[in-house]
Structure 1
Amino acid sequence: MTPGIAARLDRVGTDGRYVVVPMDHGITLGAVNGLKDIESTIDAVTRGGADSVLTQKGIADRVHGNKNGAGYIVHLNGSTAIGPDSNDKRATGSVEAALRAGADAVSFHINVGSKYEREQIEALGRLTDQAAEYGLPVLAMTYARGPDIEGDDPEALGHAVRLGEELGADLIKTGYSGDAESFEHVCESTSLPVLIAGGSPDGDLESLRDVRGAMDAGAAGVSMGRTIFQHESPEHIARAVSLVVHDDYSAEAALEAAELSK
């Protein structure tokens, strides 16, 4: 790892652990709840303890000044939910554009097992080469998604995270397999820090239990979007997640400490 990559990883995480809040969903879903006044949302989640936020490059001027010293990641591909296939992620920017936007790191989404896998592998490989020239870390979002793949299958997730490392990424984001025991295989499949996506549809406590399970399995944190930025109190749920990731709280203790237990 070069000094530049190490220094910038310190800006998007804390002591090797990461609470990233991606808010690039305006391309995918439009200006949904939590993204219309993205300035206030960014202020709230970073006050709550998020280490970094993530957007597309065009939102950069709405990020800076509201992130309370947190890191900034620029996402470099995307698709829409109303298009013909949301798995078909296309490039939306370059390393140079991300640097002009003030990025501390870049991210790229790849759907391992989809019919677009070959093109996305090539694109991620090119991106990691380009980013390395500038000492810019790459967060590879390597999901197991395809017609014959269960998205929470630990074998498929393990393959996906290893692919990210093989292509030269510095951080890996993937889905959660559902329990700590099976997610150990995923974390052991790469030497890179692994972050989990998403959250539980069953509410705050179950989402925090997923985070706790991932951390117990060896994960380095979360990259959690709508569960945080669409929460009725983004600051409080960000604080709860941060307590689990950074302070090793249990899900129940974090819920109470963040004043969400009621």
Structure 2
Amino acid sequence: MTGKIIRLKRIIGRDGKTVITPMDHGVSCGPIAGLEDMKLALTRAIGGGADTVILHKGNFKMLSDLDLPLPGIILHLSASTQLSLDFHRKVIVGSIEEAIRLGADGVSVHINLGNENEHAMLEDLGAVGEECRRWLMPLLVMVYVRGLNVEQPVSDKAIAHAVRVAWELGADVIKTAAPKDLEVLEQLASYCPVPIVIAGGGKVKDVREFLERVSGWIGAGARGVAIGRNVFQDRSPVSFLKAVCSIVHEGLSGNEAYQRYLDLAE
């Protein structure tokens, strides 16, 4: 297991926690605000202290061109686009061998439970997981409950089920939505044998409120956060990311982190 442990240490900090900046949105959403210039976006993520970034294969060349210490790098293997009639149906567009050739520290797969194509995505996850175990490659599973038959808002019970699916099918790290009840997250974190990382979701207007949410997630036992749009679409991405890192790695409260954000953003 030596190879996997070494790679995981590049993804998760020495304190067992991680701040991940997903930057895989270009395939699904196109050139959204903040990701038009990927080289600039990557420079900001690294400058803000991201432990890990998640990228599609075409952006690895930009990373290799940067004259900066690199964070952990995860190759995202799943794809779909908003142009599709079934945006929630993810397909596999890469391989573990490709990840090794590119120099990735891990791979990620996205599955949506409750979708009519759930069975195909689970099958894909099983195949990727088998290759990850063969090559000792860390596997991050992005798991959500999304589909036409899914009741909205998604229940905490459904989120707990999603976490269980990812864990039992071999995830080394799980990225998912936050339960509304922090006690549910606390219970999940207490018995889940792998790190749970909470997704930041869509762009929010109130930075203080968002940072307080992050503080709540970490306090409830989440081992990190995966924040994309709220980082790269902020008026000061580096300051925002440093504020998030101060919560995850230094134990600052949401209010303390917000003050740091204001001080840095000036």
| TM class by smaller structure | over 0.9
Is 1:179–1:210's contact at 8 Å kept on the other side of the alignment? no
**1:180 maps to what in 2?**
182
Q: What is the letter of the counterpart of residue 45 of structure 2?
A: V
Secondary structure in structure 2 of the residue aligned to 1:259: helix
CA RMSD of aligned residues (A): 1.7
* Identity, % of aligned positions: 37
| Distance in 2 (alpha carbons) for counterparts of 1:101 and 1:189 | 34
Per-residue CA distance 1:88-133 (angstroms, 9 max, x = gap): 1111111111122210000000001211211111111111110111
**1:226 maps to what in 2?**
229
**1:121 maps to what in 2?**
122
Is 2:74–2:108's contact at 8 Å kept on the other side of the alignment? yes
Secondary structure in structure 1 of the residue aligned to 2:131: helix
1:117–1:151 distance in 2 versus 1, CA, 3 Å: farther
TM-score, structure 2 as length reference: 0.92
Displacement after TM superposition at 1:187 (Å)? 2.4
Displacement after TM superposition at 1:149 (Å)? 3.6
**1:70 maps to what in 2?**
71
Is 2:72–2:105's contact at 8 Å kept on the other side of the alignment? yes
**1:247 maps to what in 2?**
250
Q: Structure 2: which 5+ runs fail to align? A: none
Q: Which runs of 4+ in 1 moved over 6 A?
A: none
**2:31 maps to what in 1?**
31
Displacement after TM superposition at 1:225 (Å)? 1.1
Displacement after TM superposition at 1:69 (Å)? 2.4
Secondary structure in structure 2 of the residue aligned to 1:210: helix
Is 1:152–1:178's contact at 8 Å kept on the other side of the alignment? no
| Distance in 2 (alpha carbons) for counterparts of 1:63 and 1:230 | 20
| Distance in 2 (alpha carbons) for counterparts of 1:65 and 1:106 | 21
Per-residue CA distance 1:31-74 (angstroms, 9 max, x = gap): 11221211111111111110011110111101234363211110
Deviates more, 1:143-152 or 1:55-64: 143-152
**1:8 maps to what in 2?**
7
Is 1:158–1:187's contact at 8 Å kept on the other side of the alignment? no
1:65–1:203 distance in 2 versus 1, CA, 3 Å: farther
Displacement after TM superposition at 1:179 (Å)? 4.3
1:163 to 149, 160, 165: 165
**2:22 maps to what in 1?**
22
Secondary structure in structure 2 of the residue aligned to 1:192: coil
1:192 to 179, 191, 194: 194
1:202–1:176 distance in 2 versus 1, CA, 3 Å: farther
Displacement after TM superposition at 1:84 (Å)? 0.6
TM-score, structure 1 as length reference: 0.94
Per-residue CA distance 1:186-233 (angstroms, 9 max, x = gap): 324521100011246242112212211111111000111111112121
| Distance in 2 (alpha carbons) for counterparts of 1:166 and 1:151 | 25
1:151–1:101 distance in 2 versus 1, CA, 3 Å: farther
Secondary structure in structure 1 of the residue aligned to 2:262: coil
| Distance in 2 (alpha carbons) for counterparts of 1:64 and 1:205 | 35
Is 2:156–2:181's contact at 8 Å kept on the other side of the alignment? no
Secondary structure in structure 2 of the residue aligned to 1:258: helix
Count residues in correspondence: 261
